[in-house]
Amino acid sequence: MRVDQVEVRRVTLPLRFPFETSFGRTTTKQFLLVSVSADGVTGHAECVADADPFYLPETNITAHHVLRDFLVPLAFGLEIGHPREVLPALSRVRGHEMAKAALEMAVWELWARRDGVPLWHVLGGRGGEIAAGVSVGLQRDEAALLERVAAEVAAGYRRLKVKIKPGRDVALVEAIRARFPRLPLMVDANSAYTLADADHLRELDRFSLMMIEQPLGWDDIVDHAALQERLETPVCLDESIRSPDDARRALSLGACRVVNVKVGRVGGFSGALAVHDACRARGVPVWCGGMLESGIGRLANVHLQTLAGFTLPGDTSASARYFEEDLVDPPVVVSAEGTIAVPDGPGIGHGIVWPRVERATDLRETWRRR
């Protein structure tokens, strides 16, 4: 298969509520939608870069630049026998995992559509349903956080993650635990601490948290290994894992006992599958992270989570938590039992509502193979 055309749109969607983490507050979701065409079929994928480089270094502008000037020209030169060949073929470009992932994921989606099968089928997953978890951002105060947590528990989510940062950690977790003693609960610090905070973070050990996600530097694994040695709570890495090799090194060093897999952070589905396989071979659980995706990226995450190593609920929650009107119809919904149905239609499996995409698009560029 040869790629004939690649189109990139920049899409902006208002968020229903601001989402706050230790690195900042997001009020709108802005992302690149990448569409790849070959053999008369088009596949779509959402890039997880943001407008700013506060989570990881890429931005929508760097992703656009690297796609246009490097990745798309490389893709036009490929004879693709299977989507798993795409990421290795882009390896001359160092880093830029989010830009690579968007292109690669669109090829997988196209592949599934071309065969008339759901994405999970080409990824090696299964149909049925997945367990849904939810990520709760930093709130105004303890009362607001407890209210939010109670609402998500009532909605049926199987696991809650709350964002923490220095000054807004131990007391908040203590308050949640007092009210929900047996709730499957974890925290995410998004790199807000240093190894000098180890004694402080040890105070979290008494709350039987499932894990603490990315407490230290975004590009660190060495300090995380030292921290894990001093904590009973399992460490989970997010930002630090940007390739299957990162995962292998982190596990060898003992830097974590759980891995958050975000397809867009590891260069695409082939990277995500390799991280999944490496963890599974060592008995390390993985779960699927989220990046406030629209339904297009959200559904890609649903399909990925049907692989056997995803033994923990992830951060894939209902579209309606973020968007008044999602770009897919039907939107992603969560049952009262905290599950999401895995689509069985071709590709991501729900229809993309193109008039909504058009309305939300403020920039668009198309490249054709010559």
* Token pair listed for 254: 């003992």
DSSP of 310-365: B-S--S---GGGT-SS-SEESPP---TTSEEEEP-SSBTSSEE-HHHHHHHEEEEE
Segment near Mg ion (CB under 5 A), from 185-193, 218-226, 244-252, 336-344?
A: 185-193
Binder among 42, 139, 233, 317 for ligand OSB (CB under 6 A): 317
Minimum CB distance to ligand OSB smaller for 151 or for 178: 151
| Residue 265 falls in which region: left (phi positive, over 0), alpha (psi -120 to 50) or beta | alpha
Q: Please list, in sequence order, all residues whose beta carbon lies within 8 angstroms of the beta carbon of residue 80, skipping any fewer than 6 positions away.
A: 1, 2, 3, 38, 86, 107
Minimum distance from residue 60 beta carbon to ligand OSB (Å)? 14
Q: Give the SS3 label for residue 210.
A: coil
315 binds ligand OSB (CB under 6 A): yes
Of 97, 152, 188, 246, the one binding ligand OSB (CB under 6 A) is 188
Q: Which of 188, 223, 246, 293 binds Mg ion (CB under 5 A)?
A: 188
Contact between 135 and ligand OSB by CB under 6 A: the answer reads: yes
Residue nearest to Mg ion (CB): 238
Of residues 28, 26, 62, 37, the one with CA closest to residue 47: 62
Residue pair 232/254 in contact by the 8 Å Cβ criterion:
no
Nearest CA-CA partner of 180 in 147, 137, 132, 214: 147
Is 102 within 8 Å of 46 (Cβ atoms)?
yes
Element (H, E) at 298: helix 295-304
Q: Which of 238, 263, 267, 300 binds ligand OSB (CB under 6 A)?
A: 238
For Mg ion, give the closer residue by CB, 110 or 291. 291
* Partner touching 294 among ligand OSB, Mg ion, none, CB below 5 to 8 Å by kind: none
Q: Which residue is nearest to ligand OSB (CB)?
A: 290
By CB under 6 A, residue 295 contacts ligand OSB:
no
Backbone angles phi, psi at 247, to 5 degrees: -65, -45
Distance of closest approach, residue 233 Cβ to ligand OSB, in angstroms: 17
| Spatial separation of the C-alpha atoms in residues 18 and 320, rounded to whole Å | 14
Q: Is 29 a catalytic residue?
A: no
Q: Which of 100, 161, 163, 165 is catalytic?
A: 163
Q: Do residues 19 and 292 touch, judged by C-beta distance below 8 A?
A: yes
What's 203's DSSP letter? G
Our finding on whether 46 is near ligand OSB (CB under 6 A) is: no
Nearer CB in complex with ligand OSB: 19/269:
19
Q: How far is the CB of 292 from ligand OSB (least distance, A)?
A: 5
Beta bridge partners, 100, equal none
Kindly indicate which of the ranges 83-91, 149-157, 208-216, 334-342 contains the residues binding Mg ion, using the contact rule CB under 5 A: 208-216
Which one of the spans 66-74, 99-107, 138-146, 290-298 is the region binding ligand OSB (CB under 6 A)?
A: 290-298
Q: Which is nearer to ligand OSB, 114 or 168 (CB)?
A: 168
Nearer to ligand OSB, 41 or 136 (CB): 136
User: Which stretch in 70-78, 164-172, 218-226, 238-246 sits in contact with Mg ion by CB under 5 A?
Assistant: 238-246
Reading the block at residue 352, the tokens are 């993309």
Question: In whole angstroms, what is the distance from residue 327 CA to residue 315 CA?
Answer: 19
Q: Binding partner of residue 135 among ligand OSB, Mg ion, none, CB under 5 to 8 Å per kind?
A: ligand OSB
Active-site residues, by number, are: 163, 262
Which residues make up the interface to Mg ion (CB under 5 A)?
Answer: 188, 213, 238
> Which residues contact ligand OSB by CB under 6 A?
55, 135, 188, 190, 238, 289-292, 315, 317
